[in-house]
Structure 1
């Protein structure tokens, strides 16, 4: 048989249950925030990976011997989309700090 708990033990159990109820909304909010941070980091990581691959391809293109001269406007048109995407990824990461 289980012994009957004392009033002190019952009071301690009630306090524990009350504390758990008070913490539950905060823990749920923390879990949501954690998921949001994870989602932003994952998206930024994918974006930076795509930019890295595209820039590597651009460097390969620029290293080719047939391309001796590119106009400044052409280089700008090649690099501007990457600069914009890097800025967006940077801003997404800044939201986390």
Structure 2
């Protein structure tokens, strides 16, 4: 079993905590902790989804760039042209990396 729970497992755990909150003998703090956990789970899910979309776009763009570079008509690419092609990807990858770092 993976030590890091999936979002499905996390949702199941949140629902189990909610069921415990609804019991009459449950401590009142469970309700506030349940709300906080649910909010954190949604934030993580949204952040991972946004980062995944960003990385997917970068991956597709890089694949297109590789296809372009593989074309036989391009025989020479100077340093400045290569920089101009790759610099936007570098910035986007760095931004996605920072977003993932914030989650960990």
1:8 alignment counterpart: none
When the two chains are superposed, the root-mean-square deviation of aligned CA atoms in Å is 1.3
* Ranges in structure 1 where 5+ consecutive residues have no aligned partner: 1-12
Shift >2 Å, 4+ stretches: none
* 1:5-61 deviations in Å (ceiling 9; x for gaps): xxxxxxxx86x14x1x21111110111011110011000000000000000000000
1:86 alignment counterpart: 93
TM-score by length of 2: 0.75
Distance 2:52 2:34 in 1: 27
Q: Name which one, 1 or 2, has greater alpha-carbon Rg.
A: 1
Alignment of 1:55-74 (within 5 A): 55-74=62-81
* 1:50-88 deviations in Å (ceiling 9; x for gaps): 000000000000000000001101110000000100111
* Ranges in structure 2 where 5+ consecutive residues have no aligned partner: 1-22
1:45 alignment counterpart: 52
Number of equivalent positions: 82
* Secondary structure of 2:81 counterpart: helix
TM-score by length of 1: 0.80
